[in-house]
Chains A and B, each alone.
Chain A
Amino acid sequence: MIARVLLIITLALAPATAVLAVEPDEILSDPMLETRAREVSQQLRCVVCQNQDIDSSNAGIARDMRILVRERLMAGDTNADILDFMVARYGNYVLLRPPFNAQTYALWFAPLVLALFAGGIGYTVMRQARRKTILAADLTADEEAALQALLDTSSDTEKNT
Chain B
Amino acid sequence: MKRLLYASPVLIALIFGGFFLWGLNPERDPNSIPSVLISSPAPEFILQEVEGTSVPGFSRADLVGGDGPVVVNIFASWCVPCRAEHAVLTRMVNQDGVRLFGINYQDQPEDALRWLNELGNPYERIGSDLNGRVAIDWGLTGVPETFIVGADGTVLYKHVGPILGDAAIRAFTTALAQARQEGSL
Contact = CB atoms under 8 A, between A and B. Distances in A.
Given A47-B141, A89-B136, A121 B36 contact: no
Given A47-B141, A50-B31, A93-B34, A64 B1 contact: no
B91 interface: no
A91 B141 contact: no
B5 A93 contact: no
Given A50-B31, A61-B142, A68-B133, A89 B5 contact: no
Contacts of B131: 64
B5 A125 contact: yes
Contacts of B2: 128
B72 to A, nearest CB: 15
A29 interface: no
A60 B106 contact: yes
B104 to A, nearest CB: 15
Interface residues on A, range: 10 to 19
B18 interface: no
Nearest to B35: A91
Interface residues of B, number: 21
Q: Which secondary structure dominates chain B's binding surface?
A: loop
A61 B140 contact: yes
B33 A47 contact: yes
B130 to A, nearest CB: 11
Interface in A43-59: 47-48, 50
B1 A89 contact: no
Q: Which secondary structure dominates chain A's binding surface?
A: helix
Interface string B5-37: 100100000000000000000000001011110
Contact of A61 (B8, B43, B132): B132
A65 interface: yes
B84 to A, nearest CB: 19
A137 to B, nearest CB: 21
Contacts of A65: 136
A121 B33 contact: no
A-B pairs, top 10 by smallest CB distance, nearest first, are A91-B36, A47-B141, A89-B139, A64-B132, A90-B139, A124-B5, A48-B142, A93-B33, A121-B8, A48-B141
Interface of B: 1-2, 5, 8, 31, 33-36, 43, 106, 131-133, 136-142
10 contacts: A47-B33, A50-B31, A61-B140, A61-B141, A64-B133, A88-B36, A89-B138, A90-B33, A91-B139, A128-B2
